[in-house]
Every structure is written in C-alpha cells, then in structure tokens.
Amino acid sequence: MIRRGHGFLNAPGPTHIPERVLNAMRRQAIDLEDEELTAAIEHCFSGLKPVFGTTQAEIFIYAGNGHGAWESAIANTMSAGDKVLVPQTGHFSTGWAEMAESFGIDCEILPNDLRVATDPAKIAACLDADKSHKIKAVMQVHTDTSTGVTHDIKAIHQAIAATGHPALYMVDSVAALGTCAFEMDAWGIDVAVTASQKGLMCPPGLGIVAASARALEAHKTSTAPRRYWDWSQRRHTAHYRAFGGTCPEHLIFALDEALRMIEEEGLEAIYRRHFHLAEAVRRAVDVWAEGGALGIHALHPAERSNGVTAIRTAEGIDPVELRLLVRQMMRTSVAGGLGQLRGRAFRIGHLGDLNEPMILGSLAAVETSLEMLDIAHQKGGVTAAIDYIAGIKKTELAAARAALREKAA
C-alpha cells in the first residue's frame, strides 16, 4: 500500500512524538558516567516534579510502562493480606485491582456507573465504615482512558481527609498527567503513577512513580515481594542503582527534551490547549450524535477528559470496522472500546503534542469514514469544531494585538 504524506495518531497512548523528542534520541549511546547523561537524568527527576505538582515527593523512573508503575506503587507500600479500596472507573481500575490481587491484597471495589465520576462521599462512607482501619490505600484512577471520564482527584482528597482515615491515597494519572492540573502535594496524594507515552509526549518505555513522605514511611513496613521495583534499592545517587541497572539512555534524552518543551510552553498553557482541543472534538461528536447512532460516553460535560473522548456506538454499528477503515483508508488511528465498552465504542485521543489543524484533520478523517460506512450522523461535526477553534483563536488574536499596541504606546 502506497502511503503519502502524514497520518494522524489519535490513540490515547502512545501519542504523537514531537520531532524535537525524536531527534533527541537520534544519537549514539554514551558512557553511563558521561556528564551529559547525568545532566539529562537530573533534569528528568527535577523537571517531573512541577508536572506532578510536588516539591516534596520522591520520583522513581523505571524502564517499564504504566503497568510497571502500577506494580511499583503496590509492591512498595503493601503487604499480602492488606485491604485496599478501588473505586470502579472502568478498564483501568479493574486492571490495577487485578494486579493488587495478584499480590494477595484484598480489593474492595466501590461500584460505579462508568458514565459518571466517582462520588467522593461514597469513598468517605467506605472509609468511615472501616473503623479498624483495615483499608491501607485508596487506589483511584484519574482519567480512565476506557471511558473518557476524569475523576475529581482534589475533591476525593478532601473527602478522604475529612474522615481522618489514615489510608494512603494512590492515583493513576497515566492518561491525565500533563493534560490537566495535578497537585500532588496540595491534594494529599501519596503515590502518583504515570508513563512516558501519553501526556509526556515520549515513546513508550518509561514508568514513573512519585511517592510522598507518608508512602515512603509505609514502604518501610511493607513486605510485598519486590526487587526491580524496590524504592529502597533505587534511592541512590549512583545512576546504575537509581535505574535498577543500565539507565534507558535514549528514553531519558527523550524525556529531558519533552520536559524542556513543557517548561517552554508552561503547564497552564498546556492544560488550556488540551481543553480547547478536547472541546473541539466534543463539539464535533455532539453534531454527529444528532444522527442518533453515536454519542459521548461521559454523561456530564464537567467530567469529560481533556485527553480522550470515548464515543458510544448504537446497536448494529461495528466500531471495530470503523476504526480499521479510519486507520487504513484515512491514515488516522483512533482507539477501540475497552472493558465494558469493547465493541460498543471507539475513542479519540487528544493528548500530548497536538495542535488545532491536527485535530481538525483527525475529525475530518472520522467524519469521512462515518459517511463512507453510511453510519447515521448529522453532517457538520468538523464545521462545529472549526467554529469553536475560530472563536478561541479570535480571542487570542485580539489579545495579541492589544499587547502589541500596548508595547508600541
């Protein structure tokens, strides 16, 4: 198959990798003692802290992925026989809980309608009922990539704090970090986990964990089996120890450059860009939805993710075929349904290194495919996205012109 020009990658991970990050990796391996590597490693550890919203936490970087980071969070703080509370968010709360179970941990699942965010009051009620403090941690997913629902990590912290229960607060922000606010210190988060290939704009290959002082304290008495993931092994200034062996140099050069890009743009601007791109996608989907065959899965607008939109499809529509055609014929990757939504949804990722024309291109590819497959939809989704983006850009343009005038005056 001849393929000209660019395609678009709109999976919610791995995400589009910026040229600057690709170029940072296009180099020879270097000596593990080389000062240039040391500087890149140090920048990765220090540069991740503002992204996590922490000055206090300790960061661990693994050659691994989000699943590795999950395992690190569990293996370093828990012991067999411990109990954890896992609010049900979708495919990823299930996956994290299954991993905990394989460590002999008793998971109390807090059931939830997957179209809405976790109710913090329900978490508080579970903790209040746990008079003997058997629950050692709350394991909360920030954005469940399977549903496109973003859970209110700050409100859940406030609810947990109000109970006075000592459970650790562990948050999977693999799909949310770098797309919306994350304040590890201010929100009382004890363990935060992420991976390199989503909002951080890097290739897959790094799992990242941030641990609070309370988590490091719990680590001392936790007896879960661990070696590669062991925080104690890794709290070492020698990089060979900090990485549990050879440092994944090229991924570190990638992350070093990606963090530089994040610093240049600024976190607030990054979150704003993500919101605008997400909103453009939602405007388009809402128009298509008028045809009656599809719609945004997340019920409440305020709970819709900045990073991924899950789109339910009606009975009789095959999202697997849609996804295949969009990829093969329109060079645009969207993701399929996961967990309860397998075969009943597709997902448009809109996180990481993306801009407006890229999103408009992806939306146009999807709309073309809806048309091609005769899937009932209202035409004009892309036009709605254009209208929304034009409105935002108009405001930006006016502000830029006003600033210029002010400078000239």
**Site residues, ligand PLP (CB under 6 A):** 13, 65-67, 92, 141, 144-145, 172, 174-175, 195
- Least distance CB 194 / ligand PLP (angstroms): 9
State which residue, 195 or 224, has the beta carbon closest to ligand PLP.
195
- In the structure encoding, which two tokens stand for residue 54, read together? 């922490």
- Least distance CB 218 / ligand PLP (angstroms): 22
- Least distance CB 149 / ligand PLP (angstroms): 11
Nearest residue to ligand PLP on Cβ basis: 66
State which residue, 172 or 356, has the beta carbon closest to ligand PLP.
172
- Least distance CB 198 / ligand PLP (angstroms): 6
State which residue, 179 or 369, has the beta carbon closest to ligand PLP.
179
CB burial string 163-199: b at 16+ within 10 A, e below: bebebbbbbbbbbbbbbbebebeebbbbbbbbbbbbb
- Least distance CB 246 / ligand PLP (angstroms): 20
- Least distance CB 240 / ligand PLP (angstroms): 24
In 69-117, which ranges are E strands? 83-87, 106-110
Comparing C-alpha atoms, which of 252, 236, 262, 201 is closest to residue 58?
A: 236
Task: Give the max Cα distance, the chain.
Answer: 70
- Least distance CB 66 / ligand PLP (angstroms): 2
State which residue, 148 or 361, has the beta carbon closest to ligand PLP.
148
CB burial string 82-110: b at 16+ within 10 A, e below: bbbbbbbbbbbbbbbbebbeebebebeeb
Note whether 126 and 148 are within 8 A (CB): no
Q: What is the rounded distance in angstroms from the CA atom of residue 45 to the CA atom of residue 320?
A: 40
- Letter for the amino acid at 105? I
- For residue 380, what are the CA distances in angstroms to 20, 344, 384, 398? 35, 23, 6, 27
- Least distance CB 21 / ligand PLP (angstroms): 17
Comparing C-alpha atoms, which of 93, 84, 102, 79 is closest to residue 175?
A: 93
State which residue, 92 or 253, has the beta carbon closest to ligand PLP.
92
- Least distance CB 172 / ligand PLP (angstroms): 5
State which residue, 173 or 332, has the beta carbon closest to ligand PLP.
173
- Least distance CB 193 / ligand PLP (angstroms): 8
State which residue, 101 or 130, has the beta carbon closest to ligand PLP.
101
- For residue 396, what are the CA distances in angstroms to 61, 178, 220, 361, 403? 37, 22, 51, 22, 11
State which residue, 94 or 369, has the beta carbon closest to ligand PLP.
94
Q: What is the rounded distance in angstroms from the CA atom of residue 409 to the CA atom of residue 394?
A: 22
State which residue, 50 or 339, has the beta carbon closest to ligand PLP.
339
DSSP-derived secondary structure for 112-126 = --TTS---HHHHHHH
- Least distance CB 141 / ligand PLP (angstroms): 5
State which residue, 206 or 389, has the beta carbon closest to ligand PLP.
206
| Cβ-proximal residues to 201 (8 Å cutoff; 6+ apart), any chain | 15, 16, 17, 18, 21, 178, 258, 261, 352, 353
State which residue, 288 or 346, has the beta carbon closest to ligand PLP.
346
φ/ψ (deg, to 5) at 274: -60, -40
DSSP-derived secondary structure for 306-353 = SSEEEEEE-TT--HHHHHHHHHHHH-EEEEE--GGGTTTEEEEE--SS
Comparing C-alpha atoms, which of 198, 196, 197, 193 is closest to residue 209?
A: 193
